[in-house]
Amino acid sequence: MPIIKKIAQKKATTKILVKKIPKTPKDVAVVSVSKEKLVAKTSVKKPKSKKSVATAFAVIETGGKQYKVSEDQVISIEKLDAIRVGDVITFDKVVLLETGSETTLGTPYISDAKVTGVLEKSGLGEKIRVQRFHSKSNWHRAYGHRQPFMKVKITKIS
């Protein structure tokens, strides 16, 4: 549906800005405005329907957090020890598994489900500056913190 914004209200007939939404290039809008009422007619030509491909996703738990992941997705997780760039990581704490036709929920984890990924990058996040101050005693400290992270590309959900 087009987004309509009123430009001016002073004249009897005013101009209207009609903006198309980028994902629907064939939207057509006919708009007329008067001071009494606003009339907007739209006719939308829908693209030919494609068969919807159900994408599988899973909810995994790592580093005390839960992440919704799907195949070929890159996620940023908390640092894991003794892993180098290019290593394969297997997440066995799968909380939920959606395969398009079936949803499985773990109690708390699904025993036979696994999500595998490849470590692409390991590094430190942006520096956070922290300043502490005690009034009336001329005491202050300033320090920074950079949180370690790992970028993992999910390769397989099973």
Quick: pLDDT tens for 26-64.
444 444 444 444 444 445 555 665 555 558 899 999 999
Distance of CA 24 to the CA centre of its chain: 21
Q: Where are the domains of the chain?
A: 3-44, 57-157
* Cα separations in angstroms, 98 against 14, 55, 56, 101, 104: 51, 8, 5, 8, 6
Quick: pLDDT tens for 90-129.
999 999 999 888 999 999 999 999 999 999 999 999 999 9
Q: Is the pTM of this model over 0.75?
A: no
For residue 114, what pLDDT is reported? 95
Nearest to 3 by CA among 32, 35, 42, 37: 42
For residue 54, what pLDDT is reported? 56
For residue 34, what pLDDT is reported? 47
Query: Phi and psi (nearest 5°) for 77?
Result: -120, 170
